[in-house]
Structure 1
């Protein structure tokens, strides 16, 4: 290629390879990574399990709270059950006192009536007045006298009784036969209108009453009946029971119930008895114990619907019950105390539960904030580590590129000086080539020193020529990307070709044209690709056969070919210069230093 440069041999620039980043390159030490203490281990747990740790703290405190509430409730239930037992015992004692009081009255009456030949109304009234009965608070209906007769002796009994009690009724229910025992109610005090309904009633006509009288006769002690309905009751639904005390008379000439004389010995003269309404009997004991929040049921013997005497139940279903035995005149009764607390939890349990859940929620929120802060700190450390690695990589890359650029500049400077005919020629040639490097540098700066389109490199180098000779330059080729170092070398070659064409070739005369075409080529065996660029000049002045090698020829054939590691073909045909270059098309990932370095840092365990 014709040139005005000198004849000195060009100095081949020193080749400096781009910085290669490998996955196995040594890592940058993270500050504080050695000798991690317990706080750092805790921080790591917070980072690894940002949701599980707060949830675990909440569940642990919630479990502690639940155990505390369970303990408080268990103690409350135990205390409540102890209160129920105490109440049952005190209520049983009150019932026992009521029954024992009237049992004493019956014993006294039995002793008095056993000492007389016949119980007259005066004797009975004197006895009752001496007792000073107060049935209002005891649940008892009063005290009565029941003589035991043979059925055949009833007419004589009615005749004697009606002499002192003209209104005495007939015996009811009427005896079924003329044989057997009859036990009619002869006297009852207090003599109210309701109580007078019991006069004349045959106690042996009811099985429960007859069984109690038979037991009392056998044991010689007061005996209580089972569940009965009082004769005084018109509705016949009020449950009651009665206590019977037998009266025996002793003596050789004791008279029978009909008035005849019987041989000596003990005989049953009758019973002193007291009936009790179950409701009033229980209420009297409840009144003495005071108002309680417990329900009460009183059963005759076994617990069951058929044995229920009276119930003072709570409205809701019983949550807990306590059973207490009560003995009234040798008869076993069952006292059941019920309790149903309307409150779901006790006040102390509610306070503990609310406080525990609030504390658990607060600590969970605090732990969540700590995990978030630890995660953010970890992210910042990773970011700083990444930036530190990128900065070191960029520093090494910058040093490498500066050295390469300086080497290229030194080579250009040396070759230009040797081929310059004078100082002005040297300055103009050097300035043009430095501007070519600068234009390509500017283009690479815009692309952040990543891959650069080949068209953009050509247009940057031909910008001044295309402004004046736009129609004379034709560009044609696909979109291909060049590596930064390859773009610099290729841009320098285009500049030299354009400068030579403007001085001596097709761009130096009107009608001359320059066509630049490129296409993609590859070598499957070597797994390499390149862009094959053809520079062709037409319409310019004929190229002389005799020419001396100039700086541009050596720059393209030596420097550019060496940097691109591809052959360069220069053909100085008479019709115009033709140059074919191969520029490597490398993988974009090889030049995205920051992205690859960041990925490697993030994936490192």
Structure 2
């Protein structure tokens, strides 16, 4: 009898521990799904900050050709699915409506007045919206101040000077029979040399496309619905996965997450999907019960099996606690990475704008550096986000810059794994070095040679030593440049500031040698 009671107690403990482990696994999947959506929106909003920097770089003199070239360089369709476009809406002074018609006729060949008719004291008009397609063409000339939801978001943006989002709305771009909920995000810009508002850099979003792009990739065994809880009840819905309502009545696990998007509060409701298979681990509880019943017939065997069952239960409890701790760590890390990514993009936009000679120079330089960050993020994603291997990172960056045009490269060194921060910094550094080599060094001459080698030294806290050696015939009068451009300053900021390392450049008759030293943690090697 005593053995049977002990067996029942163990079975109950195992069942409880398994239930906790299942719930923790569901919470991890839910957190990842919500983080994907939040990170996607924040990355898209960062594009508005970059566009505002471009607006200031050209002193507010936007033209359709230059603006279209800038947006085309961002490659919205393939890299930022969900954002319908990036545009500029001007704040109109009384009597400027006919100037809007003339501007649209000149830029787009479109004879259209400001619409719709409005009695508001303040009027606006969409003057630029790219990339140009039938959906965006339908929005040109639209007075977004004529609608209550858009007007409230625009006022909030003017008052705070920050990005401001609308509640869910139907975009004027929804001209087909298949419609989605949408929202808009505004960032105010001022007249050159003052604080007088000139208008808004803005972006319309299709919520369905945005969520589908965020959730693509590795499938997650959850279904979700997103809504704006600041909006009226009938207007809150943004998106729901196709099977959300079909499976919602028969689930065991569900949760809710909230986060802020440009002044709005979004709520994501998540429950288990068809692929979660939460009932499978219950088999272990059943087996434990059967084993406990059999042990009741043999006292000697019961003692041994009881001890093993207790040990298993403790191990499962530790696994559950570990999973919960890992979930919290992943959440904090994702939030930290989102903030760092936005900060890097903002800094690059400001510095690139300050160092650019003209619009095309700004667009090319900024797009190339964004692509370098994207390549590094791809490596991080393939390695579960923990970091990337140095050799693979160098190969990726050189392939982007040179393609098949330059084969005089030697690469060699031990396997070194970088963490996420080191990966981003080294990706930008290699990108700048390779770009400089292509323009001025080994890559610019047919007989140029490039050798990249690295070594590891020390125990515990290790030191990575990387040598970038370019060999090419010196041109008459060339040597060490008198001043360093933005690319060199960016390299120094990454190595000395971000990575706490050292960098030395040596110019000689045979070319250029750059020595880089970076301290690593013990696990990087």
The TM-score with structure 2 as length reference comes to 0.49
Q: Which has the higher contact order (CA 8 A, sep 6+)?
A: 1
The TM-score with structure 1 as length reference comes to 0.43
